[in-house]
A and B are shown apart, each in its own frame.
Chain A
Amino acid sequence: MELFTQQVLAGIATGAIYACMALAVVMIYQAINHLNFAQGEMAMFSTFIAWQFLEWGLPYWLAFILTVIVSFVAGVAIERVVFKPIENAPVLSHVVIFIALYSVINSAAGFIWDFTVKSFPSPFGSSPLFGSSLISAHQGGMVAVTLALLLLLYMFFSYTRVGLAMRAAAANPASARLVGIRVSWMTALGWGMAAALGSIAGMLIAPVVFLEPNMMISILLYGFAGAVLGGLTSPGGAVLGGFAVGVIENLAGTYIPVVGSELKLPIALVVIVVVLVFKPAGLFGRVVVSRV
């Protein structure tokens, strides 16, 4: 039983990483109805920008805020420059661009900051939380920040006019234009917000996994798994899904002998496939009811 509790706690700690990423995934999905494969790389690049600010001697929180702002602007710029010209192109064209962005950003980070592993500071410190050796102060802080972001997003989408307009623009662009919503700016705003969220995720993840251009590859996959499990239309579901994936991964690694630590990654893929087969909208995703 002790082992079980330990593994669940450790799972929640890693799950916080996935939950953070899943939130960014859901954000972009709300805005453009696609998954953005370059999301992890965008977050990684933002984290490098934060690292650069810190290298220049800026205090942590100033670097943090500047990075979020820079990332937001960069997200909007990517939409304006890269995606606006192909807004009417088929989905596959978008997917190709996502993959292109992925490798461009990855290489650019390697080119600018090289591929050596760098350490990234945590704002919460790494001392054990409440004297428990299983979950550190940083991981506790991550859980708290993730939940706070979730609350902010929920309030933004439910109670603000811009949030409502963004949802409308994603759900039915033609009708959204007819009520006067500037749909393409809503999409750009979605990109900016997703990039900003991703930068926060990156800065929180980096102290755990260390900073290097490939840090996000497997994390994004877990993030996708968490988002799909919880439901791509539900930010809350995605966060819960992220935690669940962390716990499932840990328990499977511990109790299923063949899995071990080497086969943890396929667990994420198994989760995606099983959810898509049995509950395509995810556990908490909104099933759109319609009369036929």
Chain B
Amino acid sequence: MSKLLEVKDLRASYGAVRVLHGLAFSLDEGGVTTLLGANGAGKTTALRALCGMVKCSGEILFEGKNLVGRSTEDIARLGVAHVPEGRGTFTSMTVEENLHLGAISRSDKGNIQKDIDKMYDHFPRLRQRRTQQAGTLSGGEQQMLAIARALMLRPRLMLLDEPSFGLAPLVVKEMFEILSVLNREDKASMLIVEQNAALALGIADEAYLLETGSIVMSGPAKQIGADENVRRSYLGY
């Protein structure tokens, strides 16, 4: 399998505080990679660096193109869809308008309505709420809307920041099932940042462990999940 994303020596800082100290990770075409780590390890910053929301140095090769220094909107137009922490939905707009916005940079206008219907099939709850303001949805529904909106871009790569954040265990389970279906059936490549390591390792092919801005361990997800020592010292379960 060819590499869809290859990150080398990624460094970023907020003012004088260095947050990432030279990360290197990669993602296969059609694969799922997860970045794990505790609060403050730099997971969110790594994702934000990938889509141009934080200044960074190093190399981020996406389909051979370096993303470092590109603007967020250009990166989105290259096919990178980011589902940010806290979801970033357009709360004052309706569910359907949010989905339309996800596809706003696409040029194949004819297929958009078809894709919206597809999203409603994946997430039937959104169909019921299509004319409702997104801010009135429950946390789980908003997260689903955020994922659906990202999919509307027909992304080559999806970046998911803490998709389980603030959701009830049942909802989380349902959502990861949907993500796994999307990965299998639509061949969506995903980079998932999670604190809930067990869940993320269940869906991922590759895993990287982050500790205060550096990668301390990496490998196939199964192997990392099975390693007793790793589990106890880093994953806490």
Q: A residues touching B (Cβ–Cβ < 8 Å)? A: 161, 164-165, 167-168, 171-172, 174-183, 286, 288-291
Contacts and interface: CB of A to CB of B under 8 A. Distances in A.
Given A165-B101, A168-B101, A171-B93, A178 B133 contact: no
Contact of B135 (A168, A174, A181, A291): A291
Interface residues of B, number: 30
13 contacts: A161-B104, A161-B109, A164-B101, A175-B84, A176-B101, A177-B76, A178-B72, A178-B81, A179-B104, A179-B149, A180-B153, A288-B133, A289-B133
B76 A178 contact: yes
A271 to B, nearest CB: 25
Given A164-B104, A180-B77, A181-B105, A172 B133 contact: no
Contacts of B149: 179
A180 B52 CA distance: 12
Contact of B97 (A164, A174, A183): A164
Given A167-B93, A177-B76, 10 more contacts: A168-B101, A174-B53, A175-B84, A177-B53, A177-B72, A179-B101, A180-B105, A181-B73, A288-B135, A289-B133
B100 interface: yes
Contacts of B104: 161, 164-165, 168, 179-181
A290 B90 CA distance: 11
Interface string B195-227: 000000000000000000000000000000000
Given A183-B73, A288-B133, A288-B135, A178 B90 contact: no
A172 B153 CA distance: 18
A168 B90 CA distance: 7
Contacts of A165: 101, 104
Nearest to A286: B92
Nearest to B71: A177
A151 to B, nearest CB: 20
B86 to A, nearest CB: 10
Contacts of A164: 97, 100-101, 104
Contacts of B153: 179-180
Most-contacted residue by chain B among A165, A168, A174, A179 (CB, 10 A) = A179
A179 B76 contact: yes
B40 interface: no
Interface in B29-86: 51, 53, 71-73, 76-77, 81-82, 84
A233 to B, nearest CB: 9
Most-contacted residue by chain B among A165, A167, A175, A288 (CB, 10 A) = A175
B26 to A, nearest CB: 23
B136 interface: yes
Contacts of B136: 289-291
A166 B20 CA distance: 34
Contact of A179 (B102, B133, B135): B102
Most-contacted residue by chain A among B77, B90, B109 (CB, 10 A) = B90
